[in-house]
Structure 1
Amino acid sequence: MAMLASFGACAARNVVFLNNPSPQDVKDIAHYRVKSTGKPFFSDLVLFAANINGSTPNTPVLYYNTEMSTILNQNIDAVRQLQNNGIKVQISYLGNHQNAGWSCNMTSRTATRLANAMVADVIKYGLDGISVDDEYSTCSGSASSFYAVLKAIRAHPYFGGKTLSKALWSDSQYFRSPYNAANQLTEGYEMTYAGSVGYLAPYVGYGMAKSSLFLGISPEFSSASQARSIAQSVANGGYQGVMIWAPNAFLDRTAAAQYYTEIVKAQAGATESVEYMP
């Protein structure tokens, strides 16, 4: 239990993914606060998801569905409210069952053009980073192209100080020299949802710091009590925190506060709690 005391009240960082959220879902995130400090339970929100569309790997186009467009173009104040409370807001880019995506075999010029388009929109909307979700493309598997996109994002002069994170799972081919994604990512969220902190260990081996790694928990698969046990193993392992997948799809406000309470008890002590504070 000595390790718990070393964290302090919610010194661990926690990330939330909201799946096709409403503006109110976004606003709610700032209202979940640790009772003893009044500070937000979450440090980061990832808007899930914008898409990479295209009929060929070398003609990628960014696409924003109705939910993403509604937030970014009509309710950006919801994002600003979070940022004003110290919560960073990233946007996830995801394949869309088309012949374009993160790891499609594209030219270096295309990789740079795709990266520049993403960064341009992050700047346009005043967001804090990009989260990589390399799935649902009909083409994939090019480690060199994948690395080229990441490198171009990180090298962009207007991306300095921002987050480049990745959904981690079954992706060892992208963490091998000379195209080791660990050299470009600032954070990673392991999304197997099996509850084992052991899934984070390979990424330390690839070169990512424990302080940049988060273990995913889904309310769909893990109860509140199970979430507490998982968060405890993450804390004991010296990792940064947990990522909660799509609580807006599975938990109402009361159940969410109870769920987060179990996690903060593991991270900061049994007397801690999370409340929804309007």
Structure 2
Amino acid sequence: MAFIASSAADARNVVFLNNPSPQDVSNVGRFIVKGTGKPFFSDLVLFAANINGSTPNTPVLFYNSQMSTILDNNIAIVRALQQKGIKVQISYLGNHQNAGWSCNMSASAAAQLGNAMVAEVVRYGLDGINVDDEYSTCSGNASAFYSVLSAIRGNSGFSGKTLSKALWSDSQYFSAPYNAATKLTEGYEMTYGGSVSYLTPYVGYGMLKSNLFLGISPEFSSATQARTIAANVASGGYQGVMIWAPNAFLSTSAAASYYTQIIKAQAGSTASVEYVP
């Protein structure tokens, strides 16, 4: 039991912000574990930039107005989070076009896409890339998918950075010879059903429990349920939880109460989270 308690106390928590405002981003660093000064969140994923293109071999990276506002006009708020020790990733997502992470592209096109993403991460001074292989009109090519991941991990500009994946119904990408587990550094399971069992297959694929997070959505789970989920994640030996789009569902005061239930499961019943304006 002592080992479980220690692991829970060392948990990391990730937040995805869906098309956030600059204030939403700034708020991530304002949720503090009371009495410690430590941010509740270890990582923020900006969701999302896109992969556009009329053919799989000519993908183009695209930023909507929300992403451009943050990256081009308010990068200082990202730096402020990083100064607090919060890593900031950007998620790349398909955009209902004929291009994406796992489209049937050539090896050179896959390498070009991966290297283009790394160049953007370096350009904006970000800490990693999140893979969300959805909403492309083409998908399912494990070889191409693996080639994009390989290009990212093999790029010297990406050294020491995070390559995470939104995990959901993706077993085809986790078998030899194109096992994505050998390239990913973290994974966030996004079924939002509350069961730690959703993480079990990824351990079988070769990912470490210390690199896996279970997704929680305030849309589907109450604060009380979130506490139970976080406790199960901790007792299962996994790294922590990922919270989806709290900016869409919770006020700052409601969010602090929600996160307090999670930190109680991770660090003890006296722990709490406060929002510091």
Please say whether Structure 1 and Structure 2 have the same fold, judged by a TM-score greater than 0.5.
Answer: yes
Correspondences of 1:46-57 after superposition (within 5 Å): 46-57=45-56
Correspondences of 1:30-69 after superposition (within 5 Å): 30-69=29-68
Does residue 129 of structure 1 match 2:128? yes
The answer to whether the Cα contact below 8 Å between 2:188 and 2:215 also exists between their aligned partners in 1 is: yes
Hey, what does 1:158 align to over in structure 2?
Answer: 157
**Pairwise CA distance, 1:4:** 5.3
Correspondences of 1:160-179 after superposition (within 5 Å): 160-179=159-178
- For residues 247 and 216 of structure 1, the distance between their equivalents in structure 2, rounded to whole angstroms, comes to 12
- For residues 67 and 185 of structure 1, the distance between their equivalents in structure 2, rounded to whole angstroms, comes to 27
RMSD: 0.9
- For residues 215 and 119 of structure 1, the distance between their equivalents in structure 2, rounded to whole angstroms, comes to 26
- For residues 147 and 7 of structure 2, the distance between their equivalents in structure 1, rounded to whole angstroms, comes to 37
The gaps in structure 2 that reach 5 residues or longer are none
Can you list the C-alpha shifts for 1:29-53, whole angstroms capped at 9, x where unaligned?
Answer: 0010100311000000000000000
- For residues 158 and 271 of structure 2, the distance between their equivalents in structure 1, rounded to whole angstroms, comes to 36
**Pairwise CA distance, 1:190:** 0.1
**Pairwise CA distance, 1:277:** 1.4
Correspondences of 1:14-163 after superposition (within 5 Å): 14-163=13-162
State the TM-score, normalizing by the size of structure 1: 0.98
Give the letter aligned to residue 182 of structure 1: A
Hey, what does 2:6 align to over in structure 1?
Answer: 6
The answer to whether the Cα contact below 8 Å between 1:4 and 1:268 also exists between their aligned partners in 2 is: no
- For residues 58 and 7 of structure 1, the distance between their equivalents in structure 2, rounded to whole angstroms, comes to 44
Question: Alignment partner of 2:122: what SS?
Answer: helix
Give the letter aligned to residue 130 of structure 1: I
The answer to whether the Cα contact below 8 Å between 1:114 and 1:149 also exists between their aligned partners in 2 is: yes
The gaps in structure 1 that reach 5 residues or longer are none
Hey, what does 1:261 align to over in structure 2?
Answer: 260
**Paired residue total:** 277
- For residues 248 and 122 of structure 1, the distance between their equivalents in structure 2, rounded to whole angstroms, comes to 23
Hey, what does 1:220 align to over in structure 2?
Answer: 219
Question: Alignment partner of 1:176: what SS?
Answer: coil
- For residues 27 and 195 of structure 2, the distance between their equivalents in structure 1, rounded to whole angstroms, comes to 29
**Pairwise CA distance, 1:6:** 1.5
Q: Percent of aligned pairs with the same residue?
A: 76
The answer to whether the Cα contact below 8 Å between 1:43 and 1:88 also exists between their aligned partners in 2 is: yes
**Pairwise CA distance, 1:5:** 3.0
Does residue 242 of structure 1 match 2:241? yes
**Pairwise CA distance, 1:11:** 1.6
The answer to whether the Cα contact below 8 Å between 2:7 and 2:237 also exists between their aligned partners in 1 is: no
Give the letter aligned to residue 36 of structure 1: G
- For residues 150 and 36 of structure 1, the distance between their equivalents in structure 2, rounded to whole angstroms, comes to 40
Question: Alignment partner of 1:138: what SS?
Answer: coil
State the TM-score, normalizing by the size of structure 2: 0.99
- For residues 32 and 142 of structure 1, the distance between their equivalents in structure 2, rounded to whole angstroms, comes to 40
Can you list the C-alpha shifts for 1:57-115, whole angstroms capped at 9, x where unaligned?
Answer: 00100000000000000000010010000000000000000000000000000001001
The answer to whether the Cα contact below 8 Å between 2:24 and 2:247 also exists between their aligned partners in 1 is: yes
The answer to whether the Cα contact below 8 Å between 1:168 and 1:191 also exists between their aligned partners in 2 is: yes
Hey, what does 2:188 align to over in structure 1?
Answer: 189
Can you list the C-alpha shifts for 1:130-151, whole angstroms capped at 9, x where unaligned?
Answer: 0000000000000000000000
